[in-house]
Amino acid sequence: MSRRRWRRRLGVTVAEQEVSKADQGPMSVGGMTGVVGYKRERERANGGDECYIVTNEGHGRSLFYYFVEADSVNHSSFPLTLWLNGGPGCSSVGFGAFMENGPFQVGENGELVKNQYSWNLESNMLYVESPIGVGFSYSETDEDYIDWNDTNTAYDNLVFITKWLEKFPLYKDSQFFLVGESYAGHYIPQVAELILNYNKSPGVSPINLKAIAIGNPLLDIDISVLAGEYLWSHGAISDKTLMLEKTVCNDSKYLREYIHSGWSQGCNDVFNRVDNEVSEDVAFDDLLLPKCLSTPSAQQFKPRGLHAKAHSSIDRVRSTSDPCLQSRILTYLNRHDVQKALYANTTDLPGHWDFCLGPLVYQEENLEINIIPLVSNLIKAGLPIFLYSGDQDSKIPLTQTRIIANNIAKGLKLTTLSKYRTWWEVGRSLLGD
């Protein structure tokens, strides 16, 4: 069976709190002195300046993390949320921390600007570059990069969590949440299962896992990725193309052919037609996002083929955001002074930092793993699970996540606790505008 190299590489970025005056020199990054990086005394007291957790000493596997305390004097009383982006093989720091829900974004002149929607207003945030080969996470054993799989990812993530909590015992008893999107629909339920089993082991300090949440999640490629009806309902494809998706080749068949034998002529024809009708100027993960026109190099990250269909929201920016933000993040995270301030790339890894490019070769067959039974088992075990979706993402549309949620509820005979309703920000505006 042929496998193609899924190339992806990402980096790390921003923020923290006060820095002693003696340390403010190196911490002055991107025009905001003292806000990037970690308080050095705290890091030194807990294992040095590097923001890495070694998950396998024999192989030299290390996962990079970016930790942001809750924006409160009493931050230790706030929950701890671990965030994972998907791919597989795209950065939680570049996408999650700097583009979506971290405390800072990169301004037009390379400076850091505050994100008023940062999740650290409500939680301590821990962004993990997982698996190895993503961002600044790495292995000293080349063979580790070949045929990596979900099982390896889940185990390394569990080791990371237990060792990180040992390094920062202040958060050992914190309410712990696992949150992510896209292929994290695999990562998060799988590591959640390991955590529940770990907590049953004698003599361990249990991880206080309270709930998990996954957005636009890849749970079952026979349901999750079917985008024809969604694209048609938004006027993105024609009646004829929708009919061809229903009768010749849909997104699920397209992926399975890629994994096992290569695309048939029928699937090639259908999805070339989809690409032509949607056009290269429209992002599959955000149909309303404008194209970045500032510079020739500032093009939106818009994977086609396997990546366009298998990746959920890996490059999503809110439609109200600057469409050129990705380009600025790319430049920012390749700066040596930024990497130094983040204690990243301390081993001088070769290559250019990028959002999803790296040496990792992920087993494509893992895309076919049906995660729905695992999600159902976690619910039966008493773990709350929140499935959420952005309504502009056509890679894993909200319509498909809704189908899966309804199927799970029916299978478990769950009862609806509240009626379908509009979501409002307390005392303010309609959410989602």
Domain locations in the chain? 21-219+312-412
Q: Which residues pair with 214 in a beta bridge?
A: 180, 387
* Mean of the per-residue pLDDT values of the chain: 83
pLDDT for res 358: 84
CA distance 202 to 73: 35
Q: What DSSP character marks residue 93?
A: I
pLDDT band at 222 (very low <50, low <70, confident <90, very high): very high
Nearest to 182 by CA among 315, 302, 290, 306: 315
CA distance 383 to 376: 10
Sign of CA dihedral 230, 235, 236, 237: positive
CA distance 143 to 135: 18
Q: How buried is residue 21: exposed, middle or buried, by Cβ count under 10 Å (0-12/13-18/19+)?
A: exposed
Pair of tokens at residue 397: 């549309």
5-11 mean pLDDT? 28
Least confident piece of the model among 89-93, 104-108, 291-295, 398-402: 291-295
Write out pLDDT tens, residues 315-372.
343 333 678 888 899 999 989 899 989 888 877 776 677 888 888 999 999 999 999 9
Instruction: Identify the helix (H) or strand (E) that includes residue 67.
Output: strand 61-68
The answer to whether domain 21-219+312-412 has CATH 3.40.50.1820 is yes
Write out pLDDT tens, residues 78-117.
999 999 999 899 999 999 999 999 999 999 888 999 999 9
pLDDT band at 392 (very low <50, low <70, confident <90, very high): confident
- Residue the block writes with tokens 């080791």: 159
Q: Which residues pair with 179 in a beta bridge?
A: 83, 213
Total residues found in the chain within this entry? 433
Q: pTM for this one?
A: 0.85
Write out pLDDT tens, residues 265-290.
999 999 999 999 998 777 777 777 77
Least confident piece of the model among 106-115, 155-164, 165-174: 106-115
pLDDT for res 282: 79
Q: Beta strand 112-114 with 104-106: parallel, antiparallel or unpaired?
A: antiparallel
